[in-house]
Structure 1
Amino acid sequence: MNKQLLYAEVAYDIKKDIFNGVYDLDDYIPTEIELEKKYGVSKITIRRAVDILCQEGYLEKKSGKGTKVISNRTFNKLSKASSFTYYLENIGKTLKKEVISVEVIPNPNIIEEQKSMGEKVVKFVRLYYLDDEPYIFFTYYLPYFDGYEKLNEEDISLYNWLRDKGVLIYNIKDSFKVGELDEEGKKLLKMTKPTVLERHRQSYDNLNRLVELSIAYYNSDKQEYEIQYEV
């Protein structure tokens, strides 16, 4: 491996090994010296990579023992913000999802970065219900892979599916604005007024390539979107 490898790339590679079962839960990863030899980088680079994974909640340093795997979830602590789903569960709400459609379409290139997905993409539409009432209308644009039909399964995890295809999310950008529903959106969310909370999410891999573009519309009259932060 290139000796100029960045610590972030080492962290990404170790994370892949965690997801792929090379290091199981409660396993100790190789020592600093072993990782230095494996990646051909300095001790400082290895320490920074391990620190990243500790901060994200995948690893934990044990004094006198080494560094232990404590999570193999695809999404862990990407930030200090608790997930909105976790917040809803904590206040006693039930969130369910329904697949509306899964299809392969020509790449619409909604944003410039989407060109990196190739000539065709998977368009995945899902409706979320809050306490059995339509709440979020989500449209995802994803890289095309064989076996995309699996996304039709109601309990499928989008990010686990991407992981199984060898795609790991390295960073995410979320933006929010006041949006306007089209007729399909109003019908799915059972709304007469068009104004909603609109959310755009862009997810990138370790090479900063776009691997997910999603657009969501929230009926915030039913439930405000709230973010809670650890301090």
Structure 2
Amino acid sequence: MRRKSVLYMDVAEQIKADILSGKYPVGSLLPTESELEEIFEVSKITVRRAIEILADEELLEKKSGKGTTVLSNKPYNKLSKAGTFTEYLHDSGLNIVKKNIQLEHVTLEKGTPIYECLGETAVKFSRLYLLDEQPYIYFEYFLPKELSDVSIEKFDKESLYRILDQHHIEIFRFEDSFQIVQLTPKQQELLQTTETMAMKRIRRSFGKKNQVVEFSEALYNTAMHPYVIEYEA
């Protein structure tokens, strides 16, 4: 692919296509930044931005002095062309930071939606997202008991979907539902807000056999920033 003007998204998409096609196998090194500059006839800044995008998708890992390694050929955004909300916030110039709170093994109450999805026991992982240093999203993930060997430190280093992949749990589709809910005093404290209402997103992620492999609930303080879904045309 040789063009005089290639945007960083074009470069990222072509590198991703090369990874998925097997041109750059998992574990191999990408060409150097200088070589990619020549291949795509773009600036170093464009190449670096493209690599950042693929690193955010966890397809690549860049280490100083060692080059850029192909981590995976399974893109986690393959389920939808919709960009993630945190990507949207980041691209909008906002500072979004995640803070892991707690990891525990829980017994689920019979008759609840989570019990129907995951059975009697599950791993519960809670996380807070800070927007410009203020609590904005509170997440609770309920995960299969097969992840009981994972430590909270692991969640600091790896994404949830990479951890699932490492446990041979693949996601083939997901469904999201949204509702407006009243915040409890504890939830208000977590989000450090006096707002009484928030948007709740419930996600069910399904495996190959249509079994639920993730049930998550997220509370968004949309008084701080609206929830946005951005699609590619």
TM-score calculated relative to the size of structure 2: 0.65
Question: Does the C-alpha gap of structure 1 residues 151 and 122 become closer, same or farther in structure 2, counting only changes over 3 Å?
Answer: farther
1:134 pairs with 2:158: no
User: SS at 1:148's partner residue?
Assistant: coil
User: SS at 1:89's partner residue?
Assistant: helix
Note if contact 2:79-2:173 (Cα within 8 Å) is conserved in structure 1: yes
Question: Does the C-alpha gap of structure 1 residues 130 and 155 become closer, same or farther in structure 2, counting only changes over 3 Å?
Answer: farther
Aligned to 1:215: 217
- Pairing of 1:118-129 with structure 2 (within 5 A): 118-129=119-130
Aligned to 1:176: 178
Q: Which amino acid aligns with 1:121?
A: A
- Pairing of 1:38-53 with structure 2 (within 5 A): none
Q: Which amino acid aligns with 1:143?
A: P
Question: Does the C-alpha gap of structure 1 residues 230 and 110 become closer, same or farther in structure 2, counting only changes over 3 Å?
Answer: farther
CA-to-aligned-CA distance 1:4-32 (integer Å, 9 cap, x gap): xxxxxxxxxxxxxx99x9x82599xxxxx
Q: What CA distance in whole angstroms lies between the structure 1 residues aligned with 2:25 and 2:115?
A: 34
1:193 pairs with 2:195: yes
- Pairing of 1:78-93 with structure 2 (within 5 A): 78-93=79-94
Over the matched positions of the two proteins, sequence identity in percent amounts to: 37
Q: What CA distance in whole angstroms lies between the structure 2 residues aligned with 1:98 and 1:87?
A: 19
Unaligned 5+ residue runs, structure 2? 1-18, 29-58, 60-69
Report the Cα offset of residue 79 of structure 1.
Answer: 1.5
Q: What CA distance in whole angstroms lies between the structure 2 residues aligned with 1:128 and 1:157?
A: 14
User: SS at 2:151's partner residue?
Assistant: helix
Q: What CA distance in whole angstroms lies between the structure 2 residues aligned with 1:91 and 1:198?
A: 22
Equivalent residues, number: 172
- Pairing of 1:133-172 with structure 2 (within 5 A): 133-144=134-145, 145-150=147-152, 153-172=155-174
Report the Cα offset of residue 173 of structure 1.
Answer: 0.2
* Aligned-residue RMSD, C-alpha: 3.0
Unaligned 5+ residue runs, structure 1? 1-17, 28-57, 59-68
Q: What CA distance in whole angstroms lies between the structure 1 residues aligned with 2:80 and 2:158?
A: 24
Q: What CA distance in whole angstroms lies between the structure 2 residues aligned with 1:134 and 1:75?
A: 26
Q: Which amino acid aligns with 2:93?
A: G
Report the Cα offset of residue 146 of structure 1.
Answer: 3.7
Note if contact 1:171-1:203 (Cα within 8 Å) is conserved in structure 2: yes
TM-score calculated relative to the size of structure 1: 0.66
